[in-house]
């Protein structure tokens, strides 16, 4: 427990002993000197050795000053925290000022230490784990919650954090904090089935503050949500296949009553929509389960771009847009070809869908030596900037009616986001209402491949 720094009492009451100027104190010295000189001159006249007596008076005054100097030096070197010796004249003033500023400094210091102590006590009382890690990655300080949650022990002080929290995901996060602004969710190494969310902040060079909390409940709820969507999508698949099979058979019959034909066509289009929805949900749930995806194939960009361009032409038949292709990079991509092709194609079909007939769509691939950019630019309906932050949420639509009309499931951009996340890439959107949009996928250097 912290003991407040002792602040000694002032010998003289600060409020009472106030000096107006150095001159006030210097006057005391002059008075003393004058006193010595008067006495010396009287004695000098009396005994007939005037100058000798005057010299002796100066000598006495000098000795008296030397004594004061000695006392000041002794106090500063040996007992700086004690009450200073009671001196008169300028030495007294000097001592008093040194003592006063020293005392004020100690009061401020005591307040600071008190503040640090209070901050520390509140951190100790937290349910969340807090840990200080120095620039050599050694653990400097932690609170009791860190012991419970992360298994830190008293002996770990000064040990490298990476020798204690050794999960590869943590090491990866530790080395690239800036790439995971939301922190890291990891399995607890202390309790089976427990999950912790870890967030680190760098300060003062390479020191770090680690903050962690138990998120098992949230993880379980999220898992329940995923399982539910996954199960229900699987369960819907079979009845939908049966339904669409029969509907297709009936629709194709030539002798069908025209009234029924229209109804069957509508049923067919709705079952197709449901099928697309179920497939997208299943794809999303597969994407969330990161391990199932191979992400290290070399994808030849010229051939992928040409393939996407051909598909776009096929989809564009009903829309009649002008389509352009710009390839301005020698880099290929490292990733999962099927997933990336599906994400890119989602962006392209959106651009075609959300552009009124006769627009221009430009698909591009370029780089700036540091990052790779896949872009889709359209001259379509655009998006009000207020929608942009929520665009990649599941089922988020700017205009639900229009989106349904175009046969969208509302999951396209959510799928794109997940595919990109798994490739350490991200999506940037620039858009102006009624003028068009640019969807830009940004790939980091480590995802670019150049055959030498």
| Tokens standing for residue 76 | 């500063």
Cβ-proximal residues to 332 (8 Å cutoff; 6+ apart), any chain: 298, 299, 300, 301, 448, 449, 450, 451
Does the footprint of ligand ADP cover residue 380 (CB under 6 A)?
yes
Contact 322, 309 (CB under 8 A): no
Of 188 and 379, nearer to ligand ADP (C-beta) is 379
Stretch that binds ligand ADP, among 212-220, 230-238, 243-251, 377-385 (CB under 6 A): 377-385
| Candidate list 397, 430, 440, 442; residue touching ligand ADP; CB under 6 A | 397
Site map 288..327 versus ligand ADP, x via CB under 6 A: ----------------------------------------
Question: Pick from 29, 214, 332, 378: which binds ligand ADP (CB under 6 A)?
Answer: 378
Residue 303 CB, shortest distance to ligand ADP, in Å, is 25
Is 54 within 8 Å of 40 (Cβ atoms)? yes
DSSP state of 285: H
Range 402-431, binding ligand ADP (CB under 6 A): 403, 408-414
| Nearest to ligand ADP of 85, 410 (CB atom) | 410
Nearer to ligand ADP, 40 or 312 (CB): 312
Could you say which of 399, 405, 434, 445 contacts ligand ADP (CB under 6 A)? 399
Q: Identify whether the C-beta of residue 213 lies closer than 8 Å to the C-beta of residue 186.
A: no
Least distance in angstroms from the C-beta of 182 to ligand ADP: 21
Does residue 89 belong to the site contacting ligand ADP (CB under 6 A)?
no
Longest dimension (CA), the chain: 155
| Distance in angstroms (rounded) separating the CA atoms of residues 410 and 426 | 19
User: What is d(CA 379, CA 431) in angstroms, rounded to the nearest whole number?
Assistant: 10
Q: In angstroms, rounded to a whole number, what is the distance separating the alpha carbons of residues 369 and 443?
A: 11
Q: Could you tell me the smallest distance in angstroms from the CB atom of residue 408 to ligand ADP?
A: 2
Residues 151, 189 contacting (CB under 8 angstroms): yes
> Please, what is the minimum distance in Å from the beta carbon of residue 225 to ligand ADP?
19
Q: Closer CB to ligand ADP, residue 84 or residue 380?
A: 380
Nearer to ligand ADP among residue 89 and residue 436 (C-beta): 436
Question: Smallest distance from the beta carbon of 420 to ligand ADP, in angstroms?
Answer: 13
**Rounded CA gap, 76 and 166, in Å?**
53
* Binding to ligand ADP in span 329-368, by CB under 6 A: 346, 350-351, 354
Instruction: Look at residues 213, 188, 187, 209 and name the one whose alpha carbon lies nearest to residue 198.
Output: 213
Return the residue of 343, 398, 425, 441 that touches ligand ADP, per CB under 6 A: 398
CA separation for the pair 385, 429 (Å, rounded): 9
CA-closest candidate to residue 117, choices 209, 1, 210? 1
Residues that bind ligand ADP (CB under 6 A): 346, 350-351, 354, 378, 380-383, 391, 396-399, 403, 408-414, 437
């Amino acid at each position: 427990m912290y003991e407040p720094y002792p602040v000694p009492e002032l010998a003289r009451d600060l409020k009472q002993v106030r000096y107006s100027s150095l001159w006030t104190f210097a006057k005391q010295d002059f008075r003393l000197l004058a006193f010595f000189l008067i006495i010396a001159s009287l004695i000098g006249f009396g005994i007939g050795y005037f100058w000798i007596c005057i010299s002796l008076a100066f000598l006495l005054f000098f000795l008296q000053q030397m004594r004061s100097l000695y006392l000041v030096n002794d106090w500063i070197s040996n007992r700086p925290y004690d009450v200073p010796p009671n001196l008169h004249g300028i030495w007294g003033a000097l001592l008093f000022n040194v003592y006063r500023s020293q005392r004020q400094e100690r009061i401020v210091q005591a307040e600071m230490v008190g503040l640090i102590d209070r901050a520390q006590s509140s951190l100790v009382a937290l349910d969340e784990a807090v840990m200080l890690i120095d620039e050599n990655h050694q653990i400097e300080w932690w609170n009791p919650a860190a012991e419970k949650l992360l298994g830190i022990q008293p002996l770990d002080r000064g040990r490298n954090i990476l020798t204690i929290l050794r999960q590869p995901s943590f090491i990866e996060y530790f080395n690239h904090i800036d790439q995971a602004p939301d922190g890291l969710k990891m399995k607890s190494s202390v309790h089976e089935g427990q999950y912790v969310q870890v967030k680190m902040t760098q300060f003062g060079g390479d020191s770090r503050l680690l903050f962690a909390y138990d998120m098992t409940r949230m993880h379980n709820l999220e898992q329940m949500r995923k399982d539910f969507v996954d199960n229900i999508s699987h369960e819907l698949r079979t009845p939908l296949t049966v339904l669409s099979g029969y509907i297709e058979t009936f629709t194709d019959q030539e002798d069908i009553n025209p009234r029924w034909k229209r109804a069957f066509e509508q049923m067919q289009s709705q079952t197709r929509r449901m099928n697309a929805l179920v497939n997208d949900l299943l794809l999303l749930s597969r994407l969330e389960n990161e391990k199932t995806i191979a992400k290290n194939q070399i994808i030849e960009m010229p051939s992928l771009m040409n393939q996407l361009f051909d598909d776009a032409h096929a989809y564009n038949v009903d829309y009649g847009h002008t389509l352009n292709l710009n390839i301005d990079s020698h880099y290929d991509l490292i990733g999962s070809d099927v997933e990336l092709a599906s994400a890119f194609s989602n962006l392209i079909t959106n651009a075609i869908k959300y552009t009124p007939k006769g627009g221009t769509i430009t698909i591009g691939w370029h780089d700036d030596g540091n990052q790779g950019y896949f872009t889709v630019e359209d001259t379509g309906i655009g998006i009000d900037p207020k929608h942009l932050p929520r665009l990649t949420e599941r089922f988020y639509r700017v205009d639900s009616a229009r989106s349904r009309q175009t046969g969208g499931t509302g999951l396209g951009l959510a799928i794109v986001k997940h595919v990109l996340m798994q490739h350490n890439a991200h999506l940037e959107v620039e858009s102006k209402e009624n003028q068009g949009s640019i969807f830009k996928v940004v790939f980091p250097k480590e995802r670019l491949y150049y055959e030498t």
